[in-house]
Structure 1
Amino acid sequence: MLEKKVVLRAEDVRREFTSGDTVVEALKGCSLEVSSGELVAIVGKSGSGKSTFANILSGLDRPTSGTVTLMDRDLAELDETEAARMRAREIGFVLQKDNLVPSLTIAENVAAPLVMGGMKLSAALEKARRALDEVGLGHRAEQWPAQVSGGEAQRAAVARACVSEPAIVFADEPTGALDEENGRQVQEIFRKLVLTTGAAGVIITHDLDLAAGADVVVTVADGVVVSTERKA
């Protein structure tokens, strides 16, 4: 079994937005720790602050105060170029919509992060095909996104997020556009890849059934972490 280590740590994260003379506190001091090989679900109603929290955790936004440390590096100390490199190297993203490029094959879509990271196309495609095999889509590698189902496209998106072996993968409502069966398959595949690669996984969702499969469930309400439930 892979030894667990802390991948991401957020401490007393606060985020304020200003609209005219009004200051809105979207986050009011949220803290969280995520370890390798661990699947964390952040849940909450619309407007609870969970998406703002996720954006800050993933480096897409910066806190007004507090710290976010990824792989022992304080994200606030990175300039925009360094932050972009850190996201490309250490973070994978799965969105509600698969966002596959229609003019690329499924294998080329999965290989894209590797190519952008400097890997030769032939090697990237070979690794992409292995990743597609892992999610049961090896037979779809040379097809176009329009030729696969919504569930298959989302599984390809999971493969793309994990192919570069990031330290952590964020999934924002990854099953929101799928039916129950396809959603279950994507959830199982996502969890499998987290466990087998040793990455950390963070799911942002309002779906309590999806969250139930996580190791840790963090509930956010009114900009505050109101509970953290960790499975034994």
Structure 2
Amino acid sequence: MTASPVLRAEGVSREFGRGETVTKVLHDCHLEVYAGQTVAIVGKSGSGKSTFANCLSGLDRPTGGRITLLGQDLAELDEPRMARMRAEHIGFVLQKDNLVPTLTLEENVAAPLIMSGVKLSAALERARAALAEVGLTHRARSWPGQVSGGEAQRAAVARACVSEPAIVFADEPTGALDEENGLRVQELLRAMVKERGAATVIITHDLDLAAGADVVATMTAGTLRAAGRVF
């Protein structure tokens, strides 16, 4: 690809603790993700894949290396600017839907837009349109506690995509669902992201979920590998 990557990680490492108690979780990880591309990072529990995703999305800071998103070095952003970057350019779909129980589904989906400065009325209108895309028009004013797990996760997909993000991180997005609902959420996520031309990073131990990705990378003991080689 000749275009610049949406996301680039160069030599990323992450350590926890100090002195003799240091635990090295990530070791010199490299990754590039381009617009419209889906990258799946697979690995066993404890392999470091979620830690890597947290670093890539600015939820955590690496101990070493460099991460750039849309050409911006994340190390140069203080927390308020990083929070704005996440609100405007990053979508998240987690294993648990993480919907705010005191907000309706449409209010939950509108939240990223409101955080980035969109007026309430416009944010709610866009939220209802996103919910319609995932088949939840009839649930727009329901509370999270009133919907099924599959419906809640579909709302989470709508929330991740409503702000037209440059990249979506999906960490075990179907892990808490049965097979039927998992497949539906998987299909909706791919369709919505593809329509918007966003990049996608999927964190999973499910090889079936990873099979639809353009690139599959394997995290083993903190080292990222793809196609049998170290990045």
The answer for the alignment partner of 2:95 in structure 1 is 96
Question: SS at 1:21's partner residue?
Answer: helix
How far did 1:177 drift? Answer: 0.6
C-alpha separation in 2, matches of 1:217 and 1:194: 17
The answer for the alignment partner of 1:17 in structure 2 is 16
1:33-82 superposed Cα distances (whole Å, 9 cap, x missing partner):
00111111111011111111111111111111111000001101112222
The answer for the alignment partner of 1:191 in structure 2 is 190
C-alpha separation in 1, matches of 2:14 and 2:209: 27
- Give aligned-pair identity as a percent: 72
The answer for the alignment partner of 1:219 in structure 2 is 218
Alignment of 1:1-232 (within 5 A): 5-19=4-18, 21-228=20-227
Contact 1:39 1:194 in 2 (8 A): no
Aligned residue-pair number: 227
1:171-214 superposed Cα distances (whole Å, 9 cap, x missing partner):
11111110001000011111111110011111111111111121
Contact 1:50 1:223 in 2 (8 A): yes
The letter of the residue matching 2:91 is G
After TM superposition, the structure 1 stretch with the greater mean CA deviation from structure 2, 123-132 or 80-89, is 80-89
Gaps of at least 5 residues in structure 1 are none
Structure 1 residues 156 and 4, CA, compared in 2 at 3 Å: closer, same or farther?
A: farther
Contact 2:88 2:112 in 1 (8 A): no
Structure 1 residues 118 and 159, CA, compared in 2 at 3 Å: closer, same or farther?
A: same
C-alpha separation in 1, matches of 2:170 and 2:100: 18
Per the normalisation by structure 1, the TM-score is 0.93
How far did 1:146 drift? Answer: 2.0
Contact 1:4 1:37 in 2 (8 A): no
How far did 1:23 drift? Answer: 2.1
Question: SS at 1:176's partner residue?
Answer: coil
C-alpha separation in 1, matches of 2:31 and 2:227: 9
> After the TM superposition, which segments of 4 or more aligned residues of structure 1 sit over 6 Å from their partners?
none
C-alpha separation in 2, matches of 1:89 and 1:146: 27
Contact 1:111 1:125 in 2 (8 A): yes
How far did 1:5 drift? Answer: 4.9
What CA RMSD, in Å, does the superposition of the two structures yield over aligned residues? 1.6
Question: SS at 2:31's partner residue?
Answer: strand
Gaps of at least 5 residues in structure 2 are none
